[in-house]
Amino acid sequence: MKRDLPSVHQWPPDYFTIPDKFEGKPYDHPLAWICTMGCSWYKTGGCTMCNFGSIDVKTIPDYARDQTREIIRRVHTELGEKPNLDLLVLGSSFDTAEIPTESMLAMFTEATRFPWIRYITTEARPDHLSHAKLEGVKKLLYPILFGVGFGLESANPLIRELCVNKGIKEGDSSAAIQLMNQLDIQSQVHILLKPIFVSEAEAIDDALSTTKSAILYGGRRIVLMVNSVKRHNVQHSLYQAGMYRPPWLWSIREALNRIKDETANIDIINVYGFKSGVEIVRTAHNCGKCDEEFLFALDHFNYTADLSRLNDISCPCEYDWRTALEQKNDSLVKRIRAGCLYLGHNVIGDAFSEEMLDPRLRL
């Protein structure tokens, strides 16, 4: 598709914290990232909601090392000794097109110089993982424990492939989880709440069924990634056209309650999606009057796995959410097709022809 400028990440590397639990206590968990050439999947079109663009500078080992040292020192200066942190690149830590192997190893090696760190999680696409790579980093970090997060997004192939454009094959995610379990590396499975084209009710159903799949595959932690609108991607074009609304906050509460009722695994879930290293145009929201209370209660859930504060919230806008849930829609295939035709004619322009549609969308 036609794009405007990609996001640009430059020195210095940065971080934010997310509410979490660690060793049974509430924990402000730093997510720190270093600048790289950016996600190579994004450069080919990428996931519809993402814009992890790039700097056109190769991440040589010295640059990876310097950035890692800089950001860990900054976290230390501002927050003190944080034993558990995420150390990320802009896309996938095991993608050699994004970050050469020597530079990735330099990043993790540098982290071992800080004696208070006991746990490091990174992120990667599942198709970039291998036994040798995972085992190599696990050994390098030892005795620091190692975890890897990745985006499964949805266990439904139609949603994962045509709504998210994830580009991973059936089986990549379960194989990645099994591999991590074999190596005793903690897997963290990201599930996207409400990709484009998916209705409010479908979004909740899909979050629940994908969580069940991730647990069945053996996933140890689950991140419910609440979708938000960022610039320079397909989702933003649809949002501008009034064809996408981020999820209602009520849908997060509903999804969490159903996950709790149907899997009894609520303590392995965290809700992300309200902070990012890039500008967020619109996050999940309700009417505006109850949003702050809701976000506060979501933080409480992330700290404690206790849903009671979320469940205590009431606001008249719950009625509007219920109306959205009951809305009658065309089939998902028809909605995807309509969205793709809109994007084809309005974003790609004259170069677009209906022959370019995925065969599943040809009526």
Q: Are 297 and 36 in contact (CB under 8 A)?
A: no
94 binds, among Zn ion, ligand SF4, none (CB under 5 to 8 A by kind): none
198 binds, among Zn ion, ligand SF4, none (CB under 5 to 8 A by kind): none
The single residue among 6, 13, 30, 46 that binds ligand SF4, judged by CB under 6 A, is 46
Beginning with the edge strand found earlier in the chain, give each strand of the sheet holding 119-123 in spatial order.
Answer: 14-22, 25-33, 84-88, 119-123, 145-153, 186-193, 221-226, 269-272
Sequence-ordered list of residues with C-beta below 8 angstroms from that of 238, at least 6 positions apart, any chain: 196, 244, 339, 342, 343
Structure tokens at 3: 């794009």
In angstroms, what is the minimal distance from the CB of 291 to Zn ion?
Answer: 7
Q: Is 249 in the site for Zn ion (CB under 5 A)?
A: no
Site for Zn ion in 9-68 (CB under 5 A): none
Q: Where are the alpha helices (DSSP H) in 112-171?
A: 131-141, 157
- Binding range to ligand SF4, per CB under 6 A, among 46-54, 79-87, 107-115, 243-251: 46-54
Binding mask 260-289 for Zn ion (x = CB under 5 A): --------------------------xx-x
Site for ligand SF4 in 21-40 (CB under 6 A): 39
How many residues touch ligand SF4 under the rule CB under 6 A: the total is: 10
Q: Is 295 in the site for Zn ion (CB under 5 A)?
A: no
| Nearest alpha-carbon partner for 38 in 22, 15, 58 | 58
Q: Are 309 and 301 in contact (CB under 8 A)?
A: yes
Q: Is 335 in the site for ligand SF4 (CB under 6 A)?
A: no
The single residue among 147, 149, 151, 219 that binds ligand SF4, judged by CB under 6 A, is 151
Spatial separation of the C-alpha atoms in residues 352 and 344, rounded to whole Å: 5
Q: Is 297 in the site for Zn ion (CB under 5 A)?
A: no
Q: β-pairing, 14-22 with 119-123?
A: unpaired
Q: Where are the alpha helices (DSSP H) in 186-330?
A: 200-217, 234-240, 249-263, 291-304, 308-312, 317-326
- Residues 62-79, buried b or exposed e (16+ Cβ, 10 A)? ebbbbbbbbbbebbeeee
Spatial separation of the C-alpha atoms in residues 291 and 249, rounded to whole Å: 8
Q: Is 125 in the site for ligand SF4 (CB under 6 A)?
A: yes
Count CB neighbours of 320 within 10 A.
14
Q: Is 108 in the site for ligand SF4 (CB under 6 A)?
A: no
Q: Is 332 in the site for Zn ion (CB under 5 A)?
A: no
Q: Is 52 in the site for ligand SF4 (CB under 6 A)?
A: yes
Q: How far, rounded to the nearest angstrom, does the alpha carbon of residue 254 sit from its chain's CA centroid? A: 20
Q: Is 41 in the site for ligand SF4 (CB under 6 A)?
A: yes
52 binds, among ligand SF4, Zn ion, none (CB under 5 to 8 A by kind): ligand SF4
125 binds, among Zn ion, ligand SF4, none (CB under 5 to 8 A by kind): ligand SF4
- Judged by beta carbon, residue 232 or residue 253, the one nearer Zn ion is 253
317 binds, among Zn ion, ligand SF4, none (CB under 5 to 8 A by kind): Zn ion
Spatial separation of the C-alpha atoms in residues 205 and 256, rounded to whole Å: 11
In angstroms, what is the minimal distance from the CB of 13 to ligand SF4?
Answer: 16
Q: Where are the alpha helices (DSSP H) in 30-157?
A: 40-43, 61-79, 101-111, 131-141, 157
315 binds, among Zn ion, ligand SF4, none (CB under 5 to 8 A by kind): Zn ion
- Judged by beta carbon, residue 177 or residue 295, the one nearer Zn ion is 295
Q: Which positions touch Zn ion (CB under 5 A)?
A: 286-287, 289-290, 315, 317
Q: Which positions touch ligand SF4 (CB under 6 A)?
A: 39, 41-42, 46-47, 50, 52, 91, 125, 151
